[in-house]
Amino acid sequence: MISKNVRVRFAPSPTGFLHIGGLRTSLYNYLFARHHGGTFVLRIEDTDQSRYVEGAEADIIRSLEWCGMTVDEGPGAHAEKPGAHHDGPGAHHDGPGAHHDGPFGPYRQSERKAIYAEYTQKLIDNGSAYYAFDTADEVEEMRERLIKSGNPSPKYDYITRQSMKNSLTLPEDEVKRRLEAGDPYVIRLNVPRNKTVKFEDEIRGVVSFETKGLDDQVLIKSDGMPTYHLANVVDDHLMQISHVIRGEEWLSSTPKHILLYEAFGWEPPVMAHLPLIMSPSGGKLSKRKAESEGIPVNTKDYISGHYEPEALVNFLAYLGWSPGDDSEIHSLEELCELFTLDRVSKGGAVFNHKKLLWYNEQYLRQQSDETIAARLRAMDGDLVDAMPKQNLVTAVGLLKERVSKIDELLEMGRFFFEDPQEVDPAAMKKWKEDSAELVGEYRKRVDAMPSSAFDATSLKSTLEEIVNERGIGFGKLMMPLRIAVTGQGFGPDLFESMALIGREAVLRRLASAVERLG
RNA sequence: GCCGCGUUCGUCUAGGGGUUAGGACGCCGCCCUUUCACGGCGGUAACACGGGUUCAAAUCCCGUACGCGGUACCA
């Protein structure tokens, strides 16, 4: 049974735009938190200064918001709206020590250095950690030496540390002298030699590792920053995180974390390692792979690509989880209700872009024509403004069953807004010898129609007249007409479309097609 | 290499001792539509392999293979 205080965190590092895999991890954390009436914390793991990317944090926050996930605690979680206070432009509440983002702040690890130092000292004091003065080069040298002598995965461990420069091998006074002299050092975890580390993973069951396969993980780097391993344990404890739900790539470093909890004398949170999202060609869905397979990797690409956020959320939720029934479509609220960890699958899940598009269609079609029309106007005002509002709404109704994403409406419906500039080469196969003559005849009759009669019904009966008179197939005139009016071989109902485009433009396009296509 | 984790239709998955192994995406066909789609109906297609345990194994156990992850002063 899940205890009362569920607190989970999404802890991305701001090294780039939010990856789709990170977004799913975040989603599962969010769903779990909401399902149990718990708290969803966002923590920024910016301990690697060399990989820090400006704007990454803002991208993460924006991505979560776009999906509809609300952060309970984290940077900006309780930020006031600009202008709510009379602090004047440029007034800043953020910065080191700001705790208004939640009761356990700060939520950026770079702002918690003092905390890590304090806790690391406890580890030093109780012998669970030690100072190591070896330079990066020296460690590298050691590795190479070991590799040469046939050790495929050299480690700074129980054995090798005995020949390195650290507070376990150096005389006490030299350690003291080096520390006082300000010699650079790292702090390493003192991993015991022969111990079995066991823990129960909510998704995988009992997992166990032998400590002899682990190295003396660096806890504090020489720049004074903690590594992920230390920071994540200290923060999860201090922030009272109840469940750690993260990607499977963390599974093998979990024993180090367990060792740390033990060294501190803390109860570890419940662990749950999620299956990875895989690329269709196999392997973890990396940027390179995904993009070469036409899959956007960054959440921002889905935003700018005009995907429906509900569709992405729904799709991602089902990538590695299922509610156990035959349902497919669920809102974020419903997913919160349904989500449990015991229904998360163990194996990696291949990203299926076509299924995502199917989800996108579902969510697009359930929106009213008016809503979509308004969104179109916001997307491309210039093009869309050429058309009266009501006509645009009608056009949306004609088009929306035929596209996967909202931006495709602009492409497919371009002919509603402007005369076709050229004909789709694929469609030209349907333009035959007699097409020009037939289209010309059709134009003549439409021209002769009173403008009051210019509607879908008479547009259609006019075509039927000609076809019947000549004893030819419907499509014989239908397709050339479509090509002349839209420049395409497919699209919404032609007669409705022509009625919407209007008499003047239709006559103009027919004449132009007869002339240009012969 | 070593350590860990996985493995049910092409893909996402349900099913956890007795099922005609279910659904969804995709694909194919038919119907609707004198057009493209939507929609409706139908079809294709899976328990990685080998041993056990059992009256009975996709399901439990052990191997093997394959895949993936990790093996950093990156997260």
Q: Which residues does residue A481 pair with via DSSP β-bridges, in sequence order?
A: none
Tokens of A180: 């006082």
Between the alpha carbon of residue A359 and those of residues A87, A93, A120, A154, the distances in Å are 45, 41, 48, 48
Å: A17 CA to B61 C1'? 46
A152 - beta bridge partners?
Answer: none
Q: What DSSP assignment string belongs to A82-146?
A: TTSS---TT----STT--TT-TT---BGGG-HHHHHHHHHHHHHTTSEEEE---HHHHHHHHHHH
Within 7 Å: CB of A224 and strand B? no
Pick the CATH number of A425-517 from 3.40.50.300, 1.10.10.350, 2.60.40.10, 3.40.50.970: 1.10.10.350
Q: Kindly provide the residue ranges of all beta strands, DSSP E only, lying in A194-345, ordered along the sequence.
A: 196-201, 205-210, 218-220, 243-247, 270-274, 277-278
- Determine whether A287 is an active site residue: yes
- Indicate if the alpha-carbon torsion angle A470, A472, A474, A480 is positive or negative: negative
Nucleotide nearest to A478 (CA to C1'): B35
Segments making up each domain of chain A, as ranges: 287-365, 369-415, 425-517
C1' of nucleotide B13: residue with nearest CA: A322
Strand partners, A207: A199
* A155 C-beta less than 7 Å away from strand B: yes
Per-residue pLDDT of chain A in tens (518 residues, 90 and over written 9): 455 699 999 999 999 999 999 999 999 999 999 999 999 999 999 999 899 999 999 999 999 999 999 999 999 776 543 333 333 333 333 444 444 688 997 999 999 999 999 999 999 999 999 999 999 999 999 999 998 888 888 999 999 999 999 999 999 999 999 999 999 999 999 999 999 999 999 999 999 999 999 999 999 999 999 999 999 999 999 999 999 999 999 999 999 999 999 999 999 999 999 999 999 998 889 888 888 888 999 999 999 999 999 999 999 999 999 999 999 999 999 999 999 999 999 999 999 999 999 999 999 999 999 999 999 999 987 777 878 888 899 999 999 999 999 999 998 999 998 899 888 888 888 888 889 999 999 999 999 999 888 999 999 999 999 999 998 888 889 999 999 999 998 899 999 999 999 999 999 999 999 998 87
Burial of A357 (0-12, 13-18, 19+ CB in 10 A): middle
**Domain covering A287-365, topology:** Glutamyl-tRNA Synthetase; domain 2 (1.10.1160)
If you measure CA to C1', which residue is closest to nucleotide B8?
A347
CA of A213 to C1' of B71 (A): 9
Residues of A (71-130) placing their beta carbon closer than 7 angstroms to any atom of strand B are: none
> Which nucleotide lies nearest residue A250, CA to C1'?
B70
Relative to beta strand A277-278, strand A186-189 is unpaired
* Cβ A391 vs Cβ A405: under 8 Å: no
